[in-house]
Structure 1
Amino acid sequence: MRAWIDWAAEDAKTSSPKSKKEDWLVNLDRYVGEYLTRLLYENPVPFKVRSAAYQVLKTTKGVSDLGQVKDPLDRPGQKVALPTLEQKSTVLKEQFIVDTKTMTLLAHYVDLQDGGKQLAGKSGVETYKVGWTDDKPAVPAAG
């Protein structure tokens, strides 16, 4: 994570010459939380790895356990919130619902605001169905 921060801080200087590594380090725990949640849905990883990622996520500084809830598809899970990210007038809040039996992500909530106004198309909820299949990929219907 620190290597990524080194790269990101250096890359940020191309568009914001006054940016410093400290601007990124202040959000280290949030970035750790973001990457841990990805292990719960992005890559096919063993249960033990997902379980360990969830345990680390819960103990990451600034991560809040919001208790047992149901996702928009009425599936039960544990809701956690990442530390709020605030930069200038932009505020990003993210919450996740995790199925603690399978250690997979059920839902991801995003609330992105700029100047106190929610950004359309950047806020909302995504639901996930994680698992193995032998089905061929299909293009979703336009809706």
Structure 2
Amino acid sequence: MALNTVANVALRAVPGAFVLNSGISKLGMDEGTASYLQAEAAKGVPALANLEAAQFGKLLTYGEIAVGATLLLPFVPNRIAGLALGAFSAGMMSVYFRDDSKTEDDGIRPSGEGIALAKDSWLSAIAIALLTGGAKRAKKRKKK
């Protein structure tokens, strides 16, 4: 479903602009930054350690740009946008939950080092809203 309600605009435009900006800001990142981000990401998704830092940097950059654009493009259905955002946020949440330094001893509450990633949990909530909200509206239309 395309952007057609104030709720959809809010659910898609805010995170879309944020993620797109994050990707654009990574264009041309240096090898050191790419290495650092790769090491962080590999804590949540160990297979990412097998890439070269430059490859990972491009993957992350273009992935963020693609997710942000998917959210902002009005002709992309909510479910597709929700899937893209869900995959992206799942990667960040896997880093959060698999890196003991990011959480308190209970493994859930964020430590000082984990606050930034914990705040990104809102992206997961938005992805769920996009995935489930469109299904309800489609069912209502079919009943009419």
Give the TM-score of the pair, scaled to structure 1.
Answer: 0.30
Greater RCO (CA < 8 Å, at least 6 residues apart) = 2
Q: Which has the higher strand share?
A: 1
Give the TM-score of the pair, scaled to structure 2.
Answer: 0.30
